[in-house]
A and B are shown apart, each in its own frame.
Chain A
């Protein structure tokens, strides 16, 4: 699937970068139908927070 192909593009990057990108792309996909989605940045920050604490 294209989704997996996109994730594979980042295989050469650090693990935390891969994890954040994977989560952020999923979040963005959920909000893709909205032009100015509310709450998307907060969800991305939570993903970054989780990755940093891990």
Chain B
């Protein structure tokens, strides 16, 4: 990230619209902003922070220019805005943050909502609005690392304090992506656990059970089919044998007459049985519309009531209610004669009104009667038909019973025949008939079994479909859980090595920079960043020297650490420092101004005249690409930006 320009409008003491362009030149990468105390350096520093991240501490006061507020009328809307243009990874971004406020009667300002917009200029020159500006800003320079790139020079000695190992660790974690890796590993582990829980829920092994049940049901159904076919063949064989016996009996003189009589009786019985089958089917059809018979009593009662009312002349009424109503309202007879509102005619008409039904109700009653009459007739017809068929059924049963009795009689005669051959044949015939009946019974059992298996298979088919879907989910969840866990493990495996490598790199870089910046470079022999993230300085005696560091030396150590992190992170980012040299002696200033421009991609320094003079100024001069002075106007209490 390199800042290109800033434009402020009505932001604190920057009244109206003011602009500043920062140097981005590689050789002259320093922008110096001069200002005496209170001139507006910190407000400009704040403007950059507010624009990018929107967060300001509570003690900075109003952001909207007081001058703008003073010039506004009561109830007038005033806007403060900061617009920042920067480049990052060869792309250009424009960030605009605006704040609206309305002036109150007492002169105070009631602040409204903030408005944050981020645009990116594509390579073809077209600008596009970024839908997720906070996410993109976090990818460029996240708010939790900004304090290591945009900082107040006088307040950065924290890292060098003995108790600051947590802050050092936090800084390394955030700037060097260790925090991102930690979060990624934790989230991946959580998600892998979630997938495993879900997997446990769905993987019940039901599919296998269902498939096994299906196979069993198919085999059983097939077995029942096969048995049914076998039985059919047995029945056919028994029938053929009976036909053969009948033929032989027909040929035997002492049995022929009886057998022919049996042939007739059996043909007759067969016809009756066919008739009975058709009759029962017909009775079933009629019975399905039996509700008309059940309702017949209520329908006949309703019709009787309506007929009674008709006989009494209540429906349809001889005079329509609306007609009587019209006469009463007009107070005039149809012959044209007028009558009095209290007269006898009026009384008579009122009595007629009370005895008649409203027109619509009367129509409904008539319609209902018309609809009920065919319904009652149909119910009557249906009952008659059912009675007839039930009567025929009883007749048929009697006939069939009589025929069976006659057949039994023939059988007994043949069985009791003194001719042994006839008796034996009849006994065989009877056995075959008994076999057929047994086979039929067993066939019925087979049919029941087949129906049961068919229903079970239908149900199993549905369950298998559901289980197959679950199986697919199970496979997917297994793969997801595995992938999430492998990714989490991979991060865990490289994390320690990477973190240690980063810590060593920062240690080496901090030492290198510290030796460049500190003037007692021969006294301080080493800088160590232990695995406990304790930043330590070792003196020429090999002893820890941090407790003895002066405030200026602590500041230089912190600056070395921050700059080292910036270098090791390899992120293109500016170093924006507010009052960087305030507490430093000239030796440190000289060293910093000599080396810092080389250690930053872009350096923005907010300085007082006292901070940057003599050799420090001379050191920096060849690297200065832009220079401004903030001038505070005592008459308006506003600051203007002037290019030097």
Contacts and interface: CB of A to CB of B under 8 A. Distances in A.
Interface stretch (B132-140, B163-171, B369-377, B393-401): B132-140
Contact of B142 (A13, A20, A33, A48): A33
B498 A28 contact: no
Interface in B142-184: 142-144, 174, 176-177, 179-181, 183-184
Main secondary structure of the interface of B (DSSP, over half): helix
A1 B141 CA distance: 13
Given A6-B498, A9-B498, A41-B187, A31 B135 contact: yes
B417 interface: no
B480 A49 contact: yes
A29 B180 CA distance: 6
B190 A16 contact: no
B434 to A, nearest CB: 68
B184 A24 contact: yes
Contact of A32 (B132, B142, B191, B494): B142
A24 B188 contact: yes
A2 B181 contact: no
A51 to B, nearest CB: 6
A9 to B, nearest CB: 4
Nearest to A20: B487
A41 B177 CA distance: 19
Interface string A12-41: 011011001100111011111100000011
A35 B476 CA distance: 31
Contact of A30 (B139, B491, B494): B139
B567 to A, nearest CB: 11
A5 B476 CA distance: 31
Given A10-B490, A52-B476, A52-B480, A33 B177 contact: no
Nearest to A1: B570
Interface string B23-39: 00000000000000000
Interface in B464-508: 476, 479-480, 483-484, 486-487, 490-491, 494, 498
A2 B188 contact: no
A17 B184 contact: no
A9 B486 CA distance: 14
Contacts of B134: 30, 33
Size category of the binding interface on chain B: 35 or more
Contacts of A44: 187-188, 191
Interface in B108-149: 132, 134-136, 138-139, 142-144
A43 to B, nearest CB: 10
Contact of B191 (A6, A45, A51): A45
A25 B177 contact: yes
Contacts of B135: 30-31
A30 B174 CA distance: 13
Contact of B486 (A17, A29, A31, A40): A17
B14 to A, nearest CB: 27
Contacts of B483: 16-17, 20, 48, 51-52
B591 interface: no
A26 B176 CA distance: 14
A27 to B, nearest CB: 8
B512 interface: no
A48 B480 CA distance: 6
B138 to A, nearest CB: 5
A2 B571 contact: yes
Contacts of B479: 52
B139 A28 contact: no
B463 interface: no
A32 B183 contact: yes
29 contacts: A1-B571, A2-B176, A2-B177, A3-B177, A6-B181, A9-B494, A9-B498, A10-B490, A20-B483, A24-B184, A24-B188, A28-B187, A29-B138, A29-B139, A29-B142, A30-B134, A30-B136, A32-B138, A32-B142, A32-B174, A32-B180, A33-B134, A33-B143, A40-B187, A41-B190, A41-B191, A48-B483, A51-B483, A52-B479
Closest 4 CB pairs of A and B: A30-B135, A33-B143, A9-B494, A28-B180
Given A2-B568, A30-B134, A44-B188, 9 more contacts: A13-B486, A20-B484, A29-B142, A29-B177, A33-B138, A33-B144, A40-B187, A41-B187, A52-B483
